[in-house]
Amino acid sequence: MSAEEMGKVSRRQRATFAFVSVALVAVLAVSPVKDYFREWKRYERDYVRYAQARPDTKRLLADFHFGIDQIWLPEMKVVDRCTTCHQGITEASLRGPSIPQPFRAHPAVPHGVRDWGCVVCHRGQGPATEVAEAHETTLAWEQPLLAISYIQASCGVCHREDIPQTPKLNRGRQLLSELNCEGCHRMDGLERPAMLGPDLTSVGNKVSRAWLDKWLKEPYTVVDKDGNILVNGYETEGEPRMPQFRLNEQEIPALSAYLSTLKSLPAEPYKFDTRVVAALQNKPEVADLGEIRFRQMFCTTCHSVAVTRGGETKLIGGNIGPELTKVGSKVDPDWLIAWLRNPQAFLPHGLMPGYQWSDSDLYEVSRYILAKLTDADLLKNIPPRKGPGPDEVRLGHQLFQEKGCASCHLVQGVGIQKDFGPDLSNIGGKNVSQLDFGNSITPRNLVSYIRAKITDPLSVNTAARMPRYRLNPVDLEAITTALLGMTGSLSNRGLERLIIPRKSADFHPAGAFGKVYERYKCYVCHRFNGYGGTLAPDLSFEGSRAQRRWMIDFLENPQTLRPTLTFRMPQFNMTDEEARIAADYLVMVTQSPSVDLSVADPKRFTPERANLGKQLYEVRYQCQSCHTIGASGGYVGPNLSNAGNWLNGAWIEGWLKDPQTLVPGAIEPRRTFANEELEALTAYLLTLKQSSPPKAGAGGAQ
């Protein structure tokens, strides 16, 4: 090449050079163009346009700036960039379904967005800046957004104590404890007493082998074609606690053989007073008398029985104890009487109170149960079996352990099996890649996995040992919510210090009252300082509320204060001494700090004041809309006909001032009474007295 030619550039080279330059510029432009089209920038531009189209533009754009917006809470390890697109999240004027997403404001919840971020409750990926990565499961970002219908699970991560805002979560946790899931699975933070199944130590004395066969095949439940859970043919709302195990034709007889040999507590026939037997045994109506007594004693507060009314048969009664419609065909007569006389000898941790029986009551009620609560066809389809052979018993014992029966049931010689199933402490925090779906058609996400596993454990794992539970759709959602809330240790998320633990406030008084308390199982229905059931009134401050004499009368012969209630205090036939012990304890111990009984001066409650009080009660405040006096009034509050014998004056005044400080969650509204009105109303209520109600006993000799 000559020197002249070196300076020249051929046409072809020029063209190439020009093209490459253009290409280079284009390549260099890729980055800014790509940046311009980022999803979040588009949303930010849309937000500005949206805000400009509204009258409150100035407020909406006051804090706005282009760029990534993030909530950074180092202590909680929160870096949430959600507000980059969700610009209006804290603008009160953008609340409501008419505002387009992603600009809609968050509803007013107790935790502010700026203080907590978004991911703590909603899950998803806080640092992500693309819609799909923030909300869904992608290759690199596994945690999807939690559907709002399960959002209460997130409350449960920190709030181990039940809170009123999370009914679904609370129900789910209650189910986990009622179904004794903790028997097999480890679940941190549940911290409530497990509800064990019956003690089987002497089940061989209680039921026949044929009944065991039937039960093991079809425990408690049948499901009809519409998917309703049926108990003995009647639809029920309660959850059957015994799940269905997959047992084959060898396993059922083996287990029933083994169980029928368990007879460690002898059931000796009880010797009734011969005079009672002589008087009753030939009476044709003895079972009817027993039924009347059964109802008077309010056994149905805890047990349900099928009742036919107006051509429709349904279960009536509570679900604290088992359903009893066909129990007469189930239990051995001698066992039944031994159990009724002293249930705690069979089942110390059980919920059945130890009634004080007169022989005639016991005779009548047991005749009723054995004669009327029966079904001759109950065991019709069960093939007859020979006496249990040693091989069957051995196999049955082995199965009892292999199937995990010992996680719920006690028998002698087999310890309670803990951690029989997988640890569920972190089930709600699992990523999809950690779950084993097998070949199932279940959608690959955590919620579907949990729902499938509970509905049918075999659906995701054909070798699962877990038995099948029958949950109605509402309870399935509740239990799924509770499991989603179990996200294991929070120490790595910086949330540990935020945990509000569940208070375990066991209340088991010692001494004479302790004996009465345990015998009658007061805590199954009543609550004492946060411990116990919620079926009946909270007795934490009963000593401030009720007068001692009234308590004794009531315990000996409970007359309901709320006549419309289906569930009432059972008639325990408590002895006078037991009633005195209980009343003395309640008066001494269960006092509210805000009711001072010593300042209630009866002289203040004059007849004039009482007359004014009657006026206020009937005209000004119309208390009769909720309370009954005599024969008229409403059903919402307790009957006040005997308020003068029942309540303490100081309690009435304290109650009228502020009902909710004395009983949290009381229905009665708090009002602004003047002091004279308080005195007048109290004076009036204290004049309301009934003579003591007659002792119950129609049909039952005491």
Partner 1 sequence: MKPGAFTLVFPLLAFAILPACRQNSAPVAVESLGRAYDTELDWNDPQRVIPLNYQQALGKRVFYEKCVWCHADSTPAGPSNRSNLNPNPPLINDGATLNAVSDEFLQNIVTLGGSAMGRSAMMSPWGRTLTQDEILAVIAFIRVVAQPPYQPSVQPKSQYTGK
Judged by the rule CB under 8 A, the positions of this chain that interact with partner 1 are 16, 19-20, 23, 26-27, 29-31, 33-34, 37-39, 42, 50, 53-56, 93, 96-102, 107-109, 130-132, 135-136, 145, 147-152, 164-165, 167-168, 562, 564-566, 620-622, 625-626, 633-636, 660, 665, 667, 669-672
CA dist 690 to 10, 69, 643, Å? 122, 71, 9
CB of 635 to partner 1, least distance (A): 5
Inter-residue contact 535 to 568 (CB < 8 Å): no
Please, what's the b/e burial string for 71-106 (b: 16 or more CB within 10 A of its CB; e: otherwise)?
bebeebebebbbbbbbbbbebeebeeeebeebbbbb
Q: How far is the CB of 526 from partner 1 (least distance, A)?
A: 16
User: For partner 1, which is the closer residue by CB, 164 or 593?
Assistant: 164
Q: How far is the CB of 423 from partner 1 (least distance, A)?
A: 28
Distance CA 391, CA 295 (A): 46
Q: How far is the CB of 147 from partner 1 (least distance, A)?
A: 4
Report the chain's C-alpha Rg in angstroms. Answer: 34
Q: How far is the CB of 118 from partner 1 (least distance, A)?
A: 13
Min separation Cβ 655 and partner 1, Å: 13
- The one-letter amino acid at 265: L
Report the distance separating Cα 166 and Cα 150, nearest Å.
Answer: 10
Q: How many CB atoms lie within 10 A of CB 250?
A: 11
Nearer to partner 1, 465 or 568 (CB): 568
Tokens 């349904």 appear where?
314
Q: How far apart are CA 470 and CA 242, in angstroms?
A: 9
458 Cβ partners below 8 Å, 6+ apart?
A: 246, 464, 468
Q: How far is the CB of 67 from partner 1 (least distance, A)?
A: 18
- Identify any residues that bridge with 221 across adjacent strands, giving them in sequence order: 231
Angle, vertex CA 252, rays to CA 249 and CA 256, nearest 5: 145
CA–CA separation, 295 vs 571, rounded Å? 10
Q: Which is nearer to partner 1, 461 or 624 (CB)?
A: 624
Q: How far is the CB of 404 from partner 1 (least distance, A)?
A: 33
Q: Which is nearer to partner 1, 77 or 104 (CB)?
A: 104
Say if residues 68 and 44 touch (Cβ distance below 8 Å): no
Q: Residue 564 Cβ, how far from partner 1 at the closest point, in Å? A: 5
Residues 283, 363 contacting (CB under 8 angstroms):
no
Comparing CB distances to partner 1, the nearer of 208 and 628 is 628
- 125 is written with which tokens? 């990926």
91: left (phi over 0), alpha (psi -120 to 50) or beta: beta
**Nearest distance from residue 464's CB to partner 1, in Å?**
26
Helix, strand, or coil here: 77?
Answer: coil
Compare residues 582 and 680 and give the one whose CB is closer to partner 1: 680
Q: Which of 574, 545, 560 is closest to 649 using CA atoms?
A: 545
Using the minimum distance from each CB to partner 1, give the nearer residue, 152 or 256.
152
State in angstroms the smallest separation of the CB of 98 from partner 1. Answer: 6
Segment holding 48, helix H or strand E: helix 39-52
Query: Could you check whether the bond before residue 167 is cis, i.e. omega within 30 degrees of 0?
Result: no
Tokens standing for 274? 């011969």
Please provide the distance, in angstroms rounded to a whole number, between the alpha carbons at the two ends of the chain: 133
Enter the DSSP assignment of 411. Answer: B
Contact (Cβ atoms closer than 8 angstroms) between residue 591 and residue 544: yes
> Which one, 34 or 65, has the nearer CB to partner 1?
34
Cα-based distances in Å from 562 to 92, 106, 611, 661:
45, 43, 26, 22
CB of 625 to partner 1, least distance (A): 4
Q: Which is nearer to partner 1, 167 or 693 (CB)?
A: 167
Closer by beta carbon to partner 1, 130 or else 288: 130
In angstroms, the CA 508 to CA 512 distance is 12
> Rounded to the nearest whole angstrom, what is the least distance from the CB of residue 597 to partner 1 in the complex?
25
**3-class DSSP state of 561:** coil
Contact call for residues 306 and 317 (beta carbons, < 8 A): no
Specify the amino acid at residue 303.
Answer: H
Dmax over CA atoms of the chain, in Å, equals: 143
- Any idea what DSSP says for residue 269? P
Nearest to 206 by CA among 253, 265, 254: 265
Minimum distance between the CB of residue 477 and partner 1, rounded to whole angstroms? 9
When the beta carbons of 133 and 584 are compared against partner 1, the nearer one is 133
Whichever of 72 and 635 has its CB closer to partner 1, that residue is 635
Question: Which residue lies nearer to partner 1 by CB, 370 or 680?
Answer: 680
Q: Which is nearer to partner 1, 20 or 345 (CB)?
A: 20
**Do 499 and 487 contact (CB within 8 A), yes or no?**
no
Pick 53 or 510: Cβ nearer partner 1: 53
Between CA 439 and CA 475 the distance in angstroms is 27
Cβ–Cβ under 8 Å, residues 219 and 242: yes
> Closest distance between partner 1 and the C-beta of residue 161, in Å?
17
Residue pair 610/617 in contact (Cβ under 8 Å)? The answer is: no
Which CB atom, from 128 or from 610, has the smaller least distance to partner 1? Answer: 128
Least distance to partner 1, CB of residue 109, Å? 6
